[in-house]
A = this chain, B = another copy of it.
Amino acid sequence: MNGAHSLLTTLVGNGVDVCFANPGTSEMHFVAALDTVPQMRGVLTLFEGVATGAADGFARMADKPAIVLLHLGPGLGNGLANLHNARRAHVPMVVVVGDHATYHKKYDAPLESDIDALARTVSGWVRRTLDTAEIAIDATDAVTASRTGVVSTLILPADVSWSDAELIEPDPQDSHLPVVDDDAVRDAVTALTSGSPTVLLIGGDATRIPGLSAAVRIAEATGAKVLCETFPTRLQRGAGVPAVERLAYFAEAAEEQLAGAEHLVLAGAASPVSFFAYPGRASDLVPENCDVHVLAKHCGAAAALQRVADELAPGSVAAVAPATRPPLQSGDLTSFSAAAVVGALLPENAIVVDESNTAGIGIAAATAGAPAHDVLTLTGGAIGYGMPAAIGAAIAAPGRPVLSLQADGSAMYTVSALWTQARENLDVTTVIFSNGVYDILRIELQRVEAANAASPGPKALQLMDLGRPALDFVKIAEGMGVPGRRVTTAEELAAALTAAFTEPGPHLIEAVVPPLAG
């Protein structure tokens, strides 16, 4: 049994059975071994950033890792941006990077590079297997480490993969169940019952129904304000789900949400900071003289909140969002009318992958009372996440419709994700909000005081312009096997969404909207 076969067998034995791959020569034994391990599903992507984004989307919905198979340092490099997002999402992921044979590395062949250094920038666990006999140990350790919410990267030299060996069996692994910290619970209870204005900021595993329910019960019992982190990994919401407000992206708005708080209790969320620095503005968004209390890190936040809720409001039941949808709209599309149409038509049990950026400004409000759904967001800020993540979400949750809301600019980073959606016949509806500019940059240009609204020069504006030539996403999608449709009115969007939600398989809708930054 060669190393590749042993690796796949070990991974399957640990419950890992989907592999998103963009392989090369050094991974050929791994690829060949797929036919000897029927439980492992191989999913081809045409670019590594699609594979890593898909694995992240998969992990968010499956609550277990997929493997990503990448080729040497440049392959890992192409996958880094979405590994950055996965790192910030604290999802379990296992990356296998094929490397040159151990004895070949010293020759500095053209594809040689420092894979270990690259891997360390995004991984919570990195190991290089140097002996085929140890591959079961290393693979088991990789999966175990990933379950703590980190990217595990296993570097696999080609000869370790192709050699045969008697395996050293791994010791049984302890599971890392999160432990609720009694002192932290006591401290949070004290803050929440202090009578002073308190904000409870939730994130990590607390943005699903158990954590949301506990947080809302706490708020109802104490008058604390509940906020959810700006970019949750997986937020459950909609009719019948306890509703929370998200911390705003723009620091000024976030400061308003936090204003007056004397206690800030963190449950699974990091202490709030500005996404970028702005001249003359604070980076730290915690109000002055506000005490920060860490109830729990990303893992175990839901359990800690439940402990607090049961202490403060035993037996209470959280209020939930009522079922309500906006009416269908008519006329030329805007970001807001498009959002209303989405809210009016969102199917039952949908997964919404949201990378709509500025164009999605109205989505949260318009879908607040739509049927219960999951929202996956851009946790690390590295654009090019959404369309790959939709692949992984669809594979992790077959039978659930996936709505991928995408901005035109960010769509182009990993656009070949559409091809894998077609190849796997995934039930993904992609809406491209096509406004023809990097709208966020037009806004940020003013906010960082590089130029005021009147002053940006023509060369600066050209570096934010996507309209010359105009991108035709219908043609791009059709070129990759996904049927597409362009809409410019609310009625057309409604018709296109209805058709896409009805027919199986992937669809793309290019929804033409004006930018926010006029």
- Which positions in A face B, CB cutoff 8 Å? 21, 23-26, 28-29, 31-32, 34-36, 42, 44, 46-47, 49, 73-75, 77-78, 80-81, 84, 88, 100-101, 103-104, 107-111, 113-114, 117-118, 120-122, 158-159, 162, 231, 270, 273-277, 279, 283-284, 379-382, 384, 409, 412-413, 415-416, 419, 422-423, 440-441, 444-445, 448-451, 456-460, 462-466, 468-481
Q: How far is the CB of A37 from chain B (nearest CB, A)?
A: 9
Contact with A32, one of B451, B472, B481 (Cβ below 8 angstroms): B451
Q: Is the beta-carbon distance between B448 and A25 smaller than 8 angstroms?
A: yes
Q: Is the beta-carbon distance between A277 and B110 smaller than 8 angstroms?
A: no
Q: Is the beta-carbon distance between A413 and B380 smaller than 8 angstroms?
A: no
A476 to B34, CA, bound (A): 32
Contact with A463, one of B31, B107, B460 (Cβ below 8 angstroms): B31
Given contacts A108-B273, A412-B46, contact A450 B29 (CB under 8 A): yes
Q: Is the beta-carbon distance between A469 and B423 smaller than 8 angstroms?
A: yes
- Kindly list chain B residues whose C-beta atoms are within 8 Å of the C-beta of A474: 479
Q: Is the beta-carbon distance between B121 and A73 smaller than 8 angstroms?
A: yes
Q: Is the beta-carbon distance between B463 and A42 smaller than 8 angstroms?
A: yes
Q: Is the beta-carbon distance between A121 and B118 smaller than 8 angstroms?
A: yes
Contact with A472, one of B77, B121, B412, B479 (Cβ below 8 angstroms): B479
9 interchain pairs, CB-CB under 8 A:
A25-B444, A35-B457, A74-B381, A114-B121, A117-B120, A158-B276, A162-B449, A472-B480, A476-B476
A309 to B122, CA, bound (A): 51
Q: Is the beta-carbon distance between A450 and B32 smaller than 8 angstroms?
A: yes
Given contacts A84-B74, A412-B46, A444-B28, contact A275 B110 (CB under 8 A): yes
A412 to B47, CA, bound (A): 7
- Kindly list chain B residues whose C-beta atoms are within 8 Å of the C-beta of A108: 270, 273
Q: Is the beta-carbon distance between A73 and B77 smaller than 8 angstroms?
A: no
Interface centre among A109, A449, A459 (most CB of B within 10 A): A459
Q: Is the beta-carbon distance between A77 and B80 smaller than 8 angstroms?
A: yes
Please name 17 further chain A to chain B contacts, defined as beta carbons within 8 Å, in addition to the given A25-B440, A110-B380, A419-B469, sorted by A numbering.
A31-B450, A46-B413, A47-B413, A73-B80, A74-B81, A74-B381, A80-B118, A104-B283, A107-B283, A110-B381, A158-B277, A162-B450, A415-B416, A471-B481, A475-B475, A475-B479, A476-B476
Q: Report the nearest B residue to A85, measured CB to CB.
A: B74
- Kindly list chain B residues whose C-beta atoms are within 8 Å of the C-beta of A276: 25-26, 100-101, 104, 109, 111, 158
Q: How far is the CB of A409 from chain B (nearest CB, A)?
A: 7
Q: How far is the CB of A422 from chain B (nearest CB, A)?
A: 5
Which A-B residue pairs are the 4 nearest by beta carbons? A35-B457, A469-B481, A77-B80, A74-B382
Q: Is the beta-carbon distance between A110 and B88 smaller than 8 angstroms?
A: yes
Contact with A480, one of B26, B457, B469 (Cβ below 8 angstroms): B469
Given contacts A109-B274, A273-B108, contact A457 B120 (CB under 8 A): no
A114 to B34, CA, bound (A): 35
Contact with A110, one of B379, B419, B459, B473 (Cβ below 8 angstroms): B379
Q: Is the beta-carbon distance between A103 and B29 smaller than 8 angstroms?
A: no
Q: How far is the CB of A159 from chain B (nearest CB, A)?
A: 7
A489 to B450, CA, bound (A): 54
A345 to B357, CA, bound (A): 47
- Kindly list chain B residues whose C-beta atoms are within 8 Å of the C-beta of A107: 273-274, 283-284
Q: Report the nearest B residue to A458, measured CB to CB.
A: B35
Q: Is the beta-carbon distance between B78 and A74 smaller than 8 angstroms?
A: no
- Kindly list chain B residues whose C-beta atoms are within 8 Å of the C-beta of A384: 47, 78
Q: Report the nearest B residue to A481, measured CB to CB.
A: B469
Interface centre among A104, A274, A277 (most CB of B within 10 A): A277
Q: Is the beta-carbon distance between B460 and A109 smaller than 8 angstroms?
A: no
Q: How far is the CB of A223 from chain B (nearest CB, A)?
A: 29
- Kindly list chain B residues whose C-beta atoms are within 8 Å of the C-beta of A21: 463
A27 to B120, CA, bound (A): 26
Q: How far is the CB of A411 from chain B (nearest CB, A)?
A: 9
A382 to B77, CA, bound (A): 10
- Kindly list chain B residues whose C-beta atoms are within 8 Å of the C-beta of A273: 104, 107-109
Q: How far is the CB of A517 from chain B (nearest CB, A)?
A: 13
- Kindly list chain B residues whose C-beta atoms are within 8 Å of the C-beta of A466: 46
Q: Is the beta-carbon distance between A382 and B111 smaller than 8 angstroms?
A: yes
Q: Is the beta-carbon distance between A275 and B73 smaller than 8 angstroms?
A: no
Q: Is the beta-carbon distance between B469 and A111 smaller than 8 angstroms?
A: no
A107 to B42, CA, bound (A): 39
